[in-house]
Amino acid sequence: MKRHFIVLLLAALPLAGCDAAKDPYARAAAAEAEGKLGEARTLYGEACAKAASSPLCTLAKSRAEALSVREAYQALDAGEFGKAKELFTNAAAAESPAVKAAAAVGLEDEELKAALALEDAQKADKAAARGAMEGLAAGHTKAAPKAREWLAKNGPSMLLEEIKAACKQGGTGSCVELGEKMADLYPQSPEAAEAQRLVDEDYERIRKRLGEAEGLLVQRYEVALKKAKYDACVAEASSPQPEESCLSALELPPSDPFATRVIDKAFDTKLGEIGDAGYVARFRERYKRVEDKTEHDFTTWTKRGDKKK
């Protein structure tokens, strides 16, 4: 098979006479047949360097372009990802549309992109690298185990630093959400215990405000319940003026009986005092559920120590 391949590649040589490209072209064809792709590509380039106007140069360029893609995949299989990217990138500038298309596919190879992302993350600052590592660790490429190993080694300490920055007055980030992340990702790490202590301390710092926000949520729920009862009354009433009769029957004031402006403003103020973005988002979600669906899940904000007794 190899011999047949060489014969095909060398078929044009007798026509070349004393062409200076003949020798490097012949050696390139032999190297290609033996699977020495890098050497073959270099020799095909030498053929054109020695005789750019030779008919063999046109053939050599075509072979060199095709070999760039083959060599790139060879490098990819060998784990030489930087080399593979360089070869695919060079092939993407080829004259052949087929080679260009193949190179474009190669550059989008999932394993290649993951491996290069891993290499970049390993060179970057740890804080900047963590997001990329988390994304790679969640995937199924060959880079995933290495990313998970990196996270297991560096993740807990980095996350603890974030928790320290969040779990205090005027902190950055959400103390409660970062604490939950630590408990979910690294529950057995030495850092988890310290993280939980910080989260508990910050919870106690804002616990009174959380309870006050809950009270405002209950007030908003009571208004929503009254509105729901009123709407049901109006829908079922047979009197000519059901609105007035229902207001009277439910002992509601005739003027703006379902006003929530004061409650809404107080609620927003209280969330600002709480500060933690995680708690704020959850309270807003529950508030909207009260408004839209008249649903409220009653929550008590007790001391963490009381819960553990």
Is 300 inside a domain boundary? yes
Is 130 inside a domain boundary? no
Read off the pLDDT of residues 172-218 as tens digits, 9 standing for 90 and up.
999 999 999 999 999 999 999 999 999 999 999 999 999 999 999 99
What angle (nearest 5°) sits at the alpha carbon of residue 109, between those of residues 104 and 110? 150
Is 166 inside a domain boundary? no
How far is Cα 121 from Cα 66, in angstroms, rounded to an integer?
32
What angle (nearest 5°) sits at the alpha carbon of residue 178, between those of residues 269 and 277? 15
Q: Could you say which of 91, 108, 125 is where a domain stops?
A: 108
Is 284 inside a domain boundary? yes
How far is Cα 27 from Cα 123, in angstroms, rounded to an integer?
40
Read off the pLDDT of residues 106-162 as tens digits, 9 standing for 90 and up.
999 999 999 999 999 999 888 888 889 999 999 999 999 999 999 999 999 999 999
Is 141 inside a domain boundary? no
* β strands within the chain, DSSP E: none
Length of the chain: 309
Is 264 inside a domain boundary? yes
Label residue 248 exposed, middle or buried (CB < 10 Å: 0-12, 13-18, 19+): exposed
Q: What are phi and psi of 77, to 5 degrees?
A: -65, -30
Q: Could you say which of 67, 87, 108 is where a domain stops?
A: 108
pTM (two decimals): 0.66
Q: Could you say which of 60, 83, 108 is where a domain stops?
A: 108
Residue with the two structure tokens 């989260």: 199
Is 60 inside a domain boundary? yes
- DSSP 8-state symbol, 303: -
How far is Cα 50 from Cα 235, in angstroms, rounded to an integer?
95
Q: The domain containing residue 54 runs over which residues? A: 2-108
Total domain count, the chain: 2
How far is Cα 20 from Cα 49, in angstroms, rounded to an integer?
9
DSSP characters over 273-295: HH--HHHHHHHHHHHHHHHHH--
pLDDT at 13 over 80: no
Q: Do the Cβ atoms of 287 and 267 come closer than 8 Å? A: yes
